[in-house]
Amino acid sequence: MASLNSIFQFLVPKDKKFFPLFEEATKNLTDMAITLHEAVNAPKKERDAYYLKIEELESVIEEIAHKTNIELSKNFITPFDREDVHALISAIDDVADYMYGAASRMRLYQVEKITKSIRKMTEINLEAVQLIQMAIVDLKDMKNLKGIADASKRIYKLENKSDNVFDKAVADIFENETDAKNIIKYKEVLSALETATDKCKSVANVLESIAVKHS
């Protein structure tokens, strides 16, 4: 039986509160992933400006998540189940947290030599985040549910790829790095990047769950 919320959804005008917030959050998340990818490909002396921008974007996304939860407490009608609205914005916020975590570790630990693995993982995260942004657009009109399923599948594959890059990179560090401090630095950065991809998978899970309920 359809939930009371979904019955009301047919009776009320299109949502004008929540989707603009989701779109704003994912736009900022994509900007953040682009900035992080640019940071790891920039000369050492230019990286701090990128790290600063990432910190600002993380604050913006956190504020959007807070705003979404306030709207959730004020509005009886939501575009889909209330717990899914909360789960979706929280999962997007988590991705931002870990991307920012990777950037702040690189800055705090003064990671000077950026490895191929770090570059590869920021590239994977950028691709996953762009897929999330596209899936949010598909979710908005609920017409292209197959698009959400396809994006989710691609995100799952990217998460596997990220796992593999992470495992190989950690094995390489243990084999070739003699300085214990460096081992800790690189492992922490790689770990934050890998968890960011894992959190992209969590976003995909929520998106798929919403799409299934509305199919």
pLDDT digits (tens, 9 = 90+) for 99-142: 999 999 999 999 999 999 999 999 999 999 999 999 999 888 77
What is the reported pLDDT for 14? 59
Q: What's residue 15's pLDDT?
A: 64
15-213 belongs to which CATH class? mainly alpha
What is the pTM (predicted TM-score) of this model?
0.91
Q: What is the pLDDT of residue 16?
A: 74
Q: Residue 143: what pLDDT? A: 73
pLDDT of the residue at 1:
44
pLDDT at 3: 57
Write out residues in the chain with pLDDT < 70, as ranges.
1-15
Q: Which of 81, 101, 83 is nearest to 189 (CA)?
A: 101
